[in-house]
Homo-oligomer: A and B are copies of this chain.
Amino acid sequence: MKNRSIPSPAVTRLSLYLRELEHLQAAEVAKVSSSQLAGSLHITDAQVRKDLGYFGQFGRPGVGYRVEPLIEALRHILGTDRTQNVVVIGAGDLGRALLRYRGFHKKGFDIVAAFDISASKVGKQVGHVKVMDMSDLPAIAGKYDVKLAVIAVPTESAQQVTDALCSAGIKGILNFAPAILETTPDVAVRPVDLAASLEQLSFTIASSE
């Protein structure tokens, strides 16, 4: 526990800063000011400085931030300076789409295995992994030191999958099933509820009429 009360929205923005910095690096920009960074993300410059300030002193007064060192620092903070192995549970439409999604690898995540209970899916090749049976999960999780998992199974089986993941030593779950998952306290869950996201948009539209 080395957390000194960092606002969780600040951590969310860290990913955005990193993304923007990677664009700048690709465009061979060497340095950037907080107000430039803020501008492209539609937030204030003070916000950028404060967020970065939670983690250290990365800038130089009168100059700004050097792009490359800041990228490395942010990756280190986020834990993506080394490859993170990930498993995907559920090889339905969504699971298969995630297995083929290239965005994860670019950000330092490596999907090392996929799992399903359906005999019709087990054994099939998707992306660069073969779908395995759920019973193989503990062995794979141990072998590849997997800490992160993605749940892309139907709502009804989400909780039992979660239990299996907790037992297998997974510490973070990205959950696409529309359900609240019960976990051991050392496991973090991040929900992604697609229908609820559309509902939020629907509300925004409805209330601005």
Q: Shortest CB–CB separation between residue A197 and chain B, in angstroms? A: 5
Q: Name the residue on B nearest A42 (C-beta).
A: B180
By a CB distance below 8 angstroms, the chain B residues around A172 are 198, 201-202, 204-205
Question: Which stretch, A75-83, A117-125, A158-166, touches the partner chain B?
Answer: A75-83
A57 at the interface (CB under 8 A from B): no
Please choose the segment from A28-36, A44-52, A89-97 that sits at the chain B interface, where 4 or more of its residues have CB less than 8 A away. Answer: A89-97
Interchain residue pairs with CB less than 8 A apart (16): A15-B193, A15-B195, A15-B200, A16-B180, A19-B196, A77-B203, A78-B203, A80-B199, A93-B96, A94-B97, A94-B101, A98-B194, A107-B198, A172-B202, A188-B204, A190-B200
Tell me the minimal C-beta distance from A109 to chain B in angstroms.
5
Partner of A93, one of B80, B101, B194: B101
Closest-by-CB residue of B relative to A94 is: B97
Of all chain B residues, the one with the shortest Cβ separation from A86 is: B198
Kindly state whether residue A178 has any CB partner on chain B within 8 Å: yes
Q: A195-B109, A196-B15, A199-B107 are in contact. Are A147 and B101 (CB under 8 A)?
A: no
Shortest CB-to-CB span from A15 to chain B, Å, is 4
Check B19 against A106 for contact (C-beta < 8 Å): no
The answer to whether the Cβ of A206 comes within 8 Å of any Cβ in the partner chain is: yes
- Whether a CB of chain B sits under 8 angstroms from the CB of A130 is no
Q: State in angstroms the CA–CA spacing of A207 and B186 once bound together.
A: 12
Which residues of A are interface residues toward B (Cβ below 8 A)?
1-3, 11-12, 14-16, 18-19, 40-42, 77-80, 84, 86, 93-94, 96-98, 100-101, 103-104, 106-107, 109, 147-148, 150, 171-174, 178, 180, 186, 188, 190, 192-209
Is there contact, CB below 8 Å, between A202 and B78? yes
Given A79-B203, A107-B198, do A40 and B86 touch, yes or no (CB 8 Å)? no
Give Cα A16 to B195, complex, Å: 11
Alpha-carbon gap, A205 to B202, bound state (A)? 34
State A177–B19 Cα separation when bound (angstroms).
12
